[in-house]
Chains A and B, each alone.
Chain A
Amino acid sequence: MEPLHLHYEVSGSDFTCAGEASGKIKRTLKSLGFSPAVIRNVAIAVYEAEINMVIHAGGGVIDVTIQPDEIVVVLKDTGPGIPDIDLAMQEGWSTAPENIRQLGFGAGMGLPNIKKYSDELKIDSTVGVGTTITITVRNPA
């Protein structure tokens, strides 16, 4: 069975575009007929990660690999990196600038929400180099 690959470039310059890739992924999963629960988990986790990419890293690339039993989404950026991942994973911890918070983002729930909605979350980050987040959502048979 050939896995399905999707690739998206996320622009860091336009806030209003954040969520476009996660929206497209969601529509693809709907046409494939994945269960509502799986679609919701992927949509929310990827949306949060996509927003983070735009807020903190000036965009990046998203690669999705879809197989019947699992969906793996890799979000790669060349942003500032996360100095302390444990701290970043805490609910309410945020480094978002004030102008972003005024838009209703940056509440410090991004990473905790990604973890909550994914079955597996891997974060590789090097300060000054960038961050790669791998989200896995399984589709129970």
Chain B
Amino acid sequence: MEPYYHSVRLDKDKCEGCIHCIQRCPTQAIRVRNGKAIIVAERCIDCGECIRVCPHKAKIAERDSLEELAKFTYTVALPAPSLYGQIANLKDINALLSALKALGFDDVFEVSAAAERISSATKKFLKENPDFPRPVISSACPVICRLISVCFPNLIEHILPLHSPMEEAGRMAREKAMRETGLKAEQIGIFFITPCPAKVTAIRHPLESEKSNLDGALAMNDIYPALVGKLGKLAEAEELQSAGLIGISWGMTGGEASGILSEDALAVDGIENCMKLLEEIEDEKLRDIEFIELNACSGGCVGGVLTAENPFIAKARLQHLRKYLPVAMNRASAEEMRGVLTAEKLPEPVPALRLADNLQEAMEKMNRLNAILETFPRLDCGTCGAPTCRALAEDIVRGYTTEQDCIFRIKEELESTGLGQAAEDLIPPPFRKKK
């Protein structure tokens, strides 16, 4: 296993070397070198913003295909609640689950059922642990957990130490399958139907345990056409549904927070908003908030980059679908909250932002960085392949590149060779001085 596995990858052949991705990446994890983007593995949090923004479709998400199912004797599909919002005119969730099963699975287990157990356990956790650092931050969005590891390691202690609904669903589904079939654990394949690449990463390189309870992840937008096809031909829907309103609501922003049934719970979405909020938690400005649900994607999981439908439409559909469901059909006991639902471990800090291992060396580098930065134009034009002048200065002191990457430095050198106005004309129009 690579030390920092990522689902988000570059398709080198498609990359044109433009700078859309470097300026959109929230952790400044991308550089462009020799006409191709490079993703810095320690910094990448698999948010998929680069996939969203790449005009050449050169950013891709590694995921599994339906062919993987053949490796197992018995397979179970675990649909994320956001899947229910992908289908137009869906009246019966059982119909969708039956169509999903018909894609080649032996059973279907709703992640929303496990989500209701996490909601129930979270309520108990908050009540039983008044001294746990507030606000408690949800552990459900893997992008947020990785963002905290890389950019806000101080806040790891705020992360809810419970498993994500996906992992709990994986555990429950495997136990159910073993019970019903008598098969061994390894003969059963558990596949998540994912709205985002971060969940693919979370399965292959989990933060909450040594090994994931899942065997793979299929992208919603991959199975979407076949799923709609099966749904159209479905003769009869099987009774597969086992979750209520709270579970399904986890597919969109506010669902998890409202499941806590507390007025002091907050829900935030969009990676930039989440980062601002994490800054505020660091500065202890949100001491009165009990619980915070953070979703890296706008709209929540319905906004994931591997979904098929517009997130606003998907959200409206989820709201419609949940209307006549019972509030919740699953709960967890306090013993389960302290037992099976407790995460094996917390995310570990990733020292990607540190300039050096020891303070002395880091300070020397910071002094150099600031001095170099003074000489840059601070336009953050991206022509050097780094997202900001500061990021370039940082790359220089880390020894990755030199000041020659800056187009203004090149211009100065040309001027010093006596080129004068000709040098001015060589740089792109936005950067020329007024005549």
Contact = CB atoms under 8 A, between A and B. Distances in A.
Do A and B pair up? The answer is: yes
Nearest to B279: A23
Interface stretch (B55-63, B355-363, B426-434): B355-363
Contacts of A39: 154
A39 to B, nearest CB: 6
A32 B366 CA distance: 7
B366 A31 contact: yes
Contacts of A6: 370
Given A22-B283, A31-B355, A36 B154 contact: yes
A32 B283 contact: no
B153 interface: yes
Contacts of A3: 363
Contacts, number: 58
Contact of A36 (B153, B354, B357, B370): B153
A45 to B, nearest CB: 10
A interface, over-half SS? helix
Contacts of B357: 33
A84 interface: no
A75 interface: no
Nearest to B285: A47
Nearest to A1: B360
B367 A4 contact: yes
Contacts of B370: 4, 6
A32 B151 CA distance: 13
B422 interface: no
A86 interface: no
A1 B282 contact: no
Contact of A4 (B353, B356, B366): B366
Nearest to A22: B283
Contacts of B394: 31
A33 B359 contact: yes
B351 interface: yes
Contacts of B366: 4, 28, 31-32
Given A32-B354, A33-B354, A33-B355, A4 B363 contact: yes
A30 B353 contact: yes
A2 B367 contact: yes
B158 to A, nearest CB: 12
Contact of B283 (A19, A30, A31, A139): A19
A34 interface: yes
Most B CB contacts (10 A, CB to CB) among A3, A33, A34 go to A33
B405 interface: no
Contact of B351 (A28, A33, A34, A66): A33
Interface string A112-141: 000000000000000000000000000100
B contact residues, range: 20 to 34
A35 to B, nearest CB: 9
Interface in B117-156: 151, 153-154
B279 A66 contact: no
Most A CB contacts (10 A, CB to CB) among B284, B357, B364 go to B284
Interface string A38-67: 011001100100000000000000000010
Contacts of A23: 279
Interface in A1-17: 1-4, 6
Interface string B342-381: 0000000001011111111011101100100000000000
Contacts of B153: 36
Interface string B179-222: 00000000000000000000000000000000000000000000
B200 to A, nearest CB: 29
A31 B282 contact: no
Contacts of A36: 153-154
A26 interface: yes
A42 to B, nearest CB: 11
29 contacts: A1-B363, A3-B363, A4-B366, A4-B370, A6-B370, A19-B283, A26-B279, A26-B282, A30-B353, A31-B366, A31-B394, A32-B354, A32-B363, A33-B351, A33-B354, A33-B355, A33-B357, A33-B359, A36-B153, A36-B154, A39-B154, A40-B282, A43-B282, A43-B283, A44-B283, A47-B283, A66-B363, A68-B363, A139-B359
Interface of A: 1-4, 6, 19, 22-23, 26, 28, 30-34, 36, 39-40, 43-44, 47, 66, 68, 139
The 4 closest A-B pairs by CB, nearest first: A36-B154, A33-B354, A32-B362, A68-B359
